[in-house]
Amino acid sequence: MHKLLIRGGKRLSGRVKVSGAKNACLPILAATLLTEQRCLISNVPALKDVETMLSILESLGRRVKRRGGDIEIDQGGVTEVTARYDLVRTMRASIAVLGPLLARYGEARVSFPGGCVIGPRPIDLHLKGLRELGAQITVEEGYIVARAKKLKGARVYLGGHFGSSVLATANTMMAAVMASGETVIEDAACEPEITDLASFLSGMGADIDGAGTPTIRIRGVKSLSGTEHRVIFDRIEAGTYMMAALITDGKLDILGADISHNIALVDKIREIGGMVKEGPEGVSVSRRSRKIKPADITTFTYPGFPTDLQAQMMSLVSISGGISVITEKVYPERFIHISELNRMGANIILEGATAIVKGVGRLSGAPVMASDLRASAALVLAALVAEGDTEISRIYHLDRGYERIEEKLSGVGADIRRVEE
């Protein structure tokens, strides 16, 4: 296992390039199951979660070729409709193979995905979407078993207790593209990753409109063909680097970032005294005011403030000049990072799904443990500004969603090294 050693206090400055979006490429890779023809997907980041999805596709009979960020997927030999427990249990997004397998073969067996440290991860909306399209679904020996002779278009309401669901929307879209008749998905997720999936499916010949809005209409087609597609940039990675510039009082040009995918974050950055300028290659971020100001943040589904940037924002306001209130409306238990940040001198208390962050003058380096992908990113940000050395262990959590993070950060002046545990 590896750990990161970070010596805080360096102001970051320079250009950092954003990779392709993890949360766009995972459902897109799953969607290649909808055709036996060759698909070429480019700008795919080198991440553990991508490797897991590719292993699942190979276990389902696909042939995968990888050249850098380009992935070629073709029909292999035997076709399999069971996504095995040993593969699925390591990544919740594996559930995204359920819809395409059902659409293509009329049958799918996917191991029930586990929960994780950010809270329970129910799949009731996924199963609701597939049932409304005519699937029979049972749970057998820890597997979700879905069967459907022919999926039939329907009007499906996918709003849940916490609002819309990204991957339930993705699964229902992929099940609907070859169903007979029209499907209308109401309270669909509006995330840019859903829009990118729709663009990929349309490239395969699907008939979709409304992606990116709460109402998506899909008219079923007979079959889908292979296609080529470039994955959008990762707005969560971009947002993480924007906050790295601010927390170190530096200045970063974040290449490939598009403000339009981070409107809520950019609004908050300006409120706390940051400056975000759009340029031809991306965005430039630095502090406008000397000190970070406090702010109140509530996470919502897109276009609200992303839950995936909540932990990173908490690190940033932990050194503000006042008291910030952070409320989680998407994953109410997503606060595992608080205990580790407090070990670094932050002053944060939790009241239910609301954290009260009292700004402190400084953070101090300490040995801390990564636990969840975005909580780990929050610890990296805190370590960049903390006085002294921080050692972050179990950074395989980080490697799930951040490509070459220590290279990208040291490339703009951070004192950061990856070493064997």
Residue of 19, 23, 240, 262 that binds ligand EPZ (CB under 6 A): 23
Closest separation in Å from C-beta 388 to ligand EPZ: 28
Binding mask 320-359 for ligand EPZ (x = CB under 6 A): ----------xx----------------------------
395 lines the binding site for ligand EPZ (CB under 6 A): no
Which residues sit opposite 163 in a β-bridge?
160
| Neighbour-count burial for 137-156, b at 16+ CB within 10 Å, e otherwise | beeeeebbbbbbeebebbeb
- Pick the stretch among 18-26, 100-108, 136-144, 320-328 that binds ligand EPZ (CB under 6 A): 18-26
- Given candidates 17, 126, 397, 408, which one binds ligand EPZ under the rule CB under 6 A? 126
- 93 part of the interface to ligand EPZ, by CB under 6 A: yes
Sign of CA dihedral 237, 239, 242, 247: negative
Based on the shown chain and the rule CB under 6 A, indicate whether residue 160 belongs to the binding site for ligand EPZ. yes
Based on the shown chain and the rule CB under 6 A, indicate whether residue 139 belongs to the binding site for ligand EPZ.
no
**Please, which of residues 238-297 interact with ligand EPZ by CB under 6 A?**
none
Closer Cβ to ligand EPZ, 162 or 241, answer by number: 162
**Ordered alpha helix ranges (H), 207-324:** 235-247, 263-271, 310-317
Comparison of 62 and 334: residue with beta carbon closer to ligand EPZ: 334
Torsion of CA 184, 188, 194, 195, to 10 degrees: 60
Among 171, 240, 307, 315, binds ligand EPZ (CB under 6 A): 307
Stretch that binds ligand EPZ, among 130-138, 164-172, 224-232, 285-293 (CB under 6 A): 164-172
Q: Which of 153, 274, 345, 401 binds ligand EPZ (CB under 6 A)?
A: 401
Q: In what order do the strands lie in the sheet with 39-42?
A: 62-67, 70-75, 39-42, 228-230
Site for ligand EPZ (CB under 6 A): which residue of 166, 174, 386, 395?
166
Distant-in-sequence contacts of 155-160, Cβ < 8 A, 24+ apart: 155/183, 155/184, 155/186, 156/128, 156/129, 156/132, 156/183, 156/184, 156/185, 156/186, 157/186, 157/187, 158/125, 158/128, 158/129, 158/185, 158/186, 158/187, 158/188, 158/189, 159/186, 159/187, 160/124, 160/125
Q: How far is the CB of 122 from ligand EPZ (least distance, A)?
A: 4
Name the DSSP letter for residue 166.
H
Specify the stretch interacting with ligand EPZ by CB under 6 A; choose among 19-27, 263-271, 358-366, 382-390.
19-27
Has 116 been annotated as catalytic? yes
Nearest Cα residue to 254 out of 279, 290, 228: 279
CA distance 370 to 378: 9
Tokens of residue 40, six digits? 């070429």
**162 near ligand EPZ, rule: CB under 6 A:** yes
Considering the rule CB under 6 A, would residue 125 count as an interface residue with ligand EPZ?
yes
DSSP character string of 122-146? --HHHHHHHHHTT-EEEEETTEEEE
Site string for ligand EPZ, 43-82 (x = CB under 6 A): ----------------------------------------
Options 138, 140, 161, 290; binder of ligand EPZ; rule CB under 6 A: 161
Strand 155-157 with 182-186, pairing = parallel
Catalytic residue ranges: 116
Interface positions with ligand EPZ (CB under 6 A): 22-23, 26, 92-93, 121-126, 160-162, 165-168, 189, 307-308, 330-331, 373-374, 401
